[in-house]
Homo-oligomer: A and B are copies of this chain.
Amino acid sequence: MRIGLLGAGRIGQIHGRNAAAHPKATLVAIADPVPGAAAALAAETGAKVAPLDAIVVDPAIDALLICTPTDTHADLIERGAHAGKAVFCEKPVDLDAARIRACLKVVAAAGIPLMIGFNRRFDPNFAALRRRLEAGEAGTVELVTILSRDPAPPPIEFVARSGGLFRDMMIHDLDMARLLLGEEPVEVHAVGAALIDPAVGRAGDVDTAAVLLKTASGRIAQISNSRRATYGYDQRIEVHGSKGLLAAGNVPETTVSFAGAGGITADRVQHFFLERYAAAYRAELDAFITAVRTGTAPAPTGADGLGAQVLADAATLSAESGRTVRVG
């Protein structure tokens, strides 16, 4: 399976290196508007540098990894669909749900495999939790609790064009909530505030937020986000069901602790998302490659990308209006 990489930024480098290291795939071409970025990754992986337009239509390429800026995703997916490529696209498909719907129609018409990059589904801890949940260990799901806190806020320029915390950051948690609830939420209530940096508020966004989701049968998910966590990248999930509680905790930097007069101190949790989710990114790309090679449908699907975006839009609207938003 021959792969072309579109975008050699931070996340593109991750996927590019994982593609190059995969035993069943070859990274053949890399495009990036920053020439040095593509060249450096090409030198490291043995791929060649090529113009994006060429990669998208290159008949020798089977699959595209779309790691370009968000506002190009939907167009590139459609171009890949027209060219008959299998497509892996980083989340989100687009910041606009209508645009996503239109894009997914093109994908459906073309019949190409499309997978959206919700990496957390592939974290070994969260994946194990989900497997055990689906095996019935916790019984029927009642309450899902997701705590997700970044170690530090992004640059304020990024905030302005991110679509806002709910679409940029919480979308990962909304995807996990959909997955773990086992039912679609029908009601979204969100609150948020700029408590960390007033500049975030001036940019029209929030840096601290929480959401309540409810499904038709009454299952509840609560999510909280913060753009700051002094102790590392806080990523926890709990699923409370009729038989008990399945929980996935944080990953500490080491297992070392010190017991002294000030108490017993364990290490901070892993700080950087690339470290925390390194195994998840490998498993995610392997899932894409395996699905395409075996002709099975990859997941998360385009519909998953749309589903999470609809919830993120609803949360944004709820937080801005102070009203509860119905969806679905």
* Residues of A bordering B, CB below 8 Å: 124-125, 128-129, 132, 137-138, 140, 142-143, 145, 147, 149, 187, 189, 191-196, 208-212, 214, 217-220, 222, 224, 226, 228-231, 234, 238, 240, 242-252, 254-269, 322-324
User: Which one of B132, B245, B269 contacts A229 once the chains associate, using CB atoms below 8 Å?
Assistant: B245
Pairs across A and B, CB under 8 Å, 27 listed: A132-B256, A142-B195, A142-B196, A142-B226, A145-B145, A147-B238, A187-B191, A229-B240, A230-B243, A230-B259, A230-B260, A230-B261, A231-B244, A234-B245, A243-B260, A245-B258, A245-B260, A246-B256, A247-B259, A250-B255, A251-B255, A252-B264, A262-B265, A263-B266, A264-B269, A265-B265, A323-B323
Name the residue on B nearest A220 (C-beta): B210
Name the residue on B nearest A194 (C-beta): B218
**Chain copies in complex:** 4
Q: What does DSSP make chain A's interface, helix, strand, loop or mixed?
A: strand
> Chain B residues near A212 (CB, 8 Å)?
189, 191, 210-212, 222
> Chain B residues near A124 (CB, 8 Å)?
254
